[in-house]
Amino acid sequence: MSIEVKCEVCGKRSALISKALKVCKDCILDQIEMALPYIKKIHEESRIEHSLPPYPPLNGEAECNICTNRCKIPEGEKGFCGIRTNEEGKLKNLVGDEAVVECYYDNLPTNCVASWACPGGSSAGYPKYSYAQGAEHGYKNLAVFYGACTFNCLFCQNWHYRKLTESLRPRMSAEKLASFVDEKTSCICYFGGDPTPQISHAIRTSRLALKKGNKMLRICWETNGAMSFPFLKKIVDLSLKSGGLIKFDLKAWHEELNIALCGVSNEQTLKNFEWLANLDTKRDYPFLVASTLLVPGYIDVDEVKKIVDFIASLDPNIPYSLLAFHPHFYMDDMPFTSKEVALKCLKVAKDAGLKNVRIGNVHLLQ
């Protein structure tokens, strides 16, 4: 049975208020200045625990332009992602030309969030970008898990990436990572954490892997979408040429809610998503995919309505997945997503005009 928690701003009690965050969604949206002290406190605690800077540093000389955080790192300190530092006034990668990364094979079709819409798990893109008119049985995906992130999601479902960031282990060169691509590998999917903090490594890996000459080798990304525009264009080029997907996790619509749940703004994410949706490209598969985790009490029907209206206004054919929430990390006291809420969100998405929408992680619904 869920325990009711009191909102420290309005005094309301509900089982849909996180004991870590201590503020309800309404107060985050309507009284953000009063809610901010509680938001900042829990994000500080969650990051200091893993030796990460509590906020993106903005008062140093070494400037990093890889993502929305635009860190300006002071001498001897680390950027928000934990991968870069300031050494004698210059930006330095703490692992040199390598990356903090793990990888493994997934037989196709995988349980990837976008697999139901991609050439490796469906009939999309056949025959140019897929071996089969359906799921590519007999082939595999190289799943690449990067150990760093540009967000600080209190509900993170893969929060153990922080242990990799903290230890800066394991490490791997782009050459070594690309060597795992064999004749039965038909796609690479970069996720984490997030690929953004080490995106140059992923780009280099992709280019090396594509030179192997596989008939099919799709380059795919699962990301919060907060990379800077020059890097976005580079990953778009790789995915479009190879038949890969770019999947954005649209965590919230309101910036205040994104800051509360994820520690930083989603402004760059939404701008990047809009630019991708408006790309004038001719393709026979869904290049851009979106998903949203239904966090009880925070990412609800009203929030989803804003997100799906945004997606539908750009392109109603963009595949969209509503993901059931699993209590985890600093929001482990929250309930699972209810079946009722998930079905209401599905209806809202379809009513908005989205043509290709589904509920993922249905086994978690309660």
Query: pLDDT tens across 250-299, in order?
Result: 999 999 999 999 999 999 999 999 999 999 777 788 999 999 999 999 99
Enter the pTM of the model: 0.97
Strands 90-93 and 288-294: unpaired
Strands 357-360 and 320-324: parallel
pLDDT of residue 174: 98
Structure tokens at 136: 């590519």
pLDDT of residue 340: 97
Same structural domain for residues 37 and 90? no
Same structural domain for residues 192 and 261? yes
pLDDT of residue 233: 97
Q: Which of 61, 94, 127 is the last residue of a domain?
A: 94
Least confident of 182-186, 232-236, 278-282, 298-302: 278-282
pLDDT of residue 189: 97
Could you give the count of Cα atoms lying within 13 Å of 233 in the half-sphere of its Cβ? 2
Same structural domain for residues 109 and 1? no
pLDDT of residue 3: 87
The domain in which residue 6 lies consists of: 1-49
Same structural domain for residues 85 and 133? no
Same structural domain for residues 62 and 176? no
Per-residue pLDDT band for 112 (boundaries 50, 70, 90) equals: confident
Strands 72-73 and 357-360: unpaired
- For residues 248 and 6, give the distance between their C-alpha atoms in angstroms, rounded to a whole number: 33
pLDDT of residue 284: 80
- For residues 139 and 145, give the distance between their C-alpha atoms in angstroms, rounded to a whole number: 19
Please, which residues have CB within 8 angstroms of residue 176's CB and are 6 or more apart in sequence? none
Round the CA-based radius of gyration of the chain to a whole number and report it: 20
Q: Is the pLDDT of residue 330 over 90?
A: yes
